[in-house]
Structure 1
Amino acid sequence: MATQQISSALRAPAPSRPYRQARTGYGKRSAPDQRPAAPDDFALLPERERYVAGYVDHLPDGAAMDIKSLAKDLPLYGQMAIGTALRALAVAGHLRHVRCRVETLGQSRWVTRTYWSRTARDNEWWQAHLAGEADAPPGPPSAPSVAACPPAVPQQRTTTGPAPDGAPSPAYVALARLGRVDPRLGLSAGDCAALERLASEWFARGVDADYLTRALTCGLPDRIGSPVGFVRRRLTDKIPARLPDTSAPAAPDKPARRLLVECAECGHPGPADALPDGLCRPCRADSPAVATARGGDTEAGPPAERDVHALVGSLRNLMRTP
């Protein structure tokens, strides 16, 4: 039996210029209670994932962690490879992508954060930590809360009135911009008009153009023969659930805090306990890394029974394609 050798190749580069900073409220958020940094922190990960993890681990809080920024700073890999590496790191327990609703100066907005842990964490730890973050006031990351409370969901819009003066609707504009985000999804004016009603149903369920764009452009195949057919399918299959109107004024001494975990593969949001390993149910079912970590079983065991180190080790030979 061959002895596994831990490679030290491709160490994360030390940047020669300041880190890219994310917009205020976005970017990296370090998890608490991590062990001190050591040379073998990510030794069990495949080469690419170890390289990306080493770089991300040295980023300060608030640094940009989107795929495009990391691809610019790590020229050895393109955007697709970086996206695959981040997904593998989520499965391994090192990160979670989170959409968080914050209140600043009387205005409410959604921001996207990436919570990072040098120490690989299991699903129960992440659920407890993110539950505490959902109730914590704005500021530095807090320690995980002992009592887990369910994260709130986005408030559903009650009206979606027509655009004034014949201007294109938000749904039409979001569809028209897809080709600017990714040329593989370039739509004609007729395509946008044909899909406008489907996209409007997303807006009627409380999402915004940024969320719609992310849901339609995450995890694209290399080639798309029919952009209009592909977008129609995603608009139909990935439409968010219709939520009951539970709007209620927040207590003056405790402003509402809302937090949803994003699927590391497709960007679909949900409560932390509904996205084990940072993946939604459909993406989790299709993930070879998760399937191998289960040892071939068709049913995943409870999060507490899963071995984080075994899961990390299973990624070595599975995450080699971009």
Structure 2
Amino acid sequence: MTTQQGTALTHALAEVPGPLPTSGVIHVATPHTSRFTIVGNHLAQHAELSLTAIGLGTHIQSLPTGSRIGIKSLAARFPEGETRIAAALRELEAHGYLHRTRVRLANGRITTRTVFRNQPGPMGAPQPEPPAPTSAPAPAPAPAPPPASAPAPTSAPAPAPVPAPAAAPASAPTPGPALTPPATRGSMPVPAPEPAPVPSAFRPAPVPQTHPPAPAPSCPVRKGPARLLPQPRELTAELRQTASTLLADLRRHAPELVLSEADIERLTPATATWLERDARPETIRQALTTDLPQPVKYPAKFVRHRLTVLLPPPLPGTEELTPARTTLVIPMQNCEGCERGYRSRVPGHCRGCRAQLSAA
């Protein structure tokens, strides 16, 4: 096996042109005919990027358009964890290779638009083209001789459009987009009406103007001032001890509700208010641990909300629960026949006199 490997290495090194170095890497270059990506040395030999960022940038550049390069997708593909991949993406973003922006779709949802540039630079900046400015001034003096010779009208138009781009870059930076130079280059009288339809064609692009009402339902709007934490009439030592113990014991019944000492100290008066209103500790615990959202991101805020919103009213006293008794008093009347006293609402005769009168 050792002899075969040595023979293969000898044949491979024999194909390397020029003298071999005594140390360092030796490149055996085989031309690629398919499945290859051109990566600039500015990325492969970047002096400030980490090796993880360089490898990740090379991998992203080799992917087709539309591939998923989220942190979770890359973490499932490579052995590096999400933390190292996120740090490498931030490095590529800081050096101008990666651009991530949040945009709103037509259906109102927000998504992250990721753009990777094989040449680093700010988003929206044109690619550098150094030869353009150098070659433009060279043919500039050429237009002078063509007008002198009349029989060469066919060769004159060729250099005529060449100096035009030289003047175009000077005016192009002011409008910004690269759409204006072609309009001025085509024909001088017509370009004036052409720029007008171009913005109108792009005017539908800012569709978000029709979608501002969409975020209204997704963004919670708080109405009215925030409720204050309830306070007991008198925070005794016994109430404080019971309330703080109940709050510290919540994580035993609901592991999501882990409160710090500062949170327990802040929420103790509100819990003591429940105890002051004759709420049993089991009742308070059930109110705080029933129907928990998943996950509970902020346990202290969640407990504060329930202590404030679900606070029961004070128990009414016994005198408030006893119905008022009304006594009906019928006044005394004197009988007009026998002068005897009897109770009746109207004056007249007693029962005996009324019986005699009816019998008569």
TM-score, structure 1 as length reference: 0.31
- Structure richer in strand, relative to its length: 1
Which structure has the bigger radius of gyration? 2
Q: Which has the higher contact order (CA 8 A, sep 6+)?
A: 1
TM-score by length of 2: 0.28
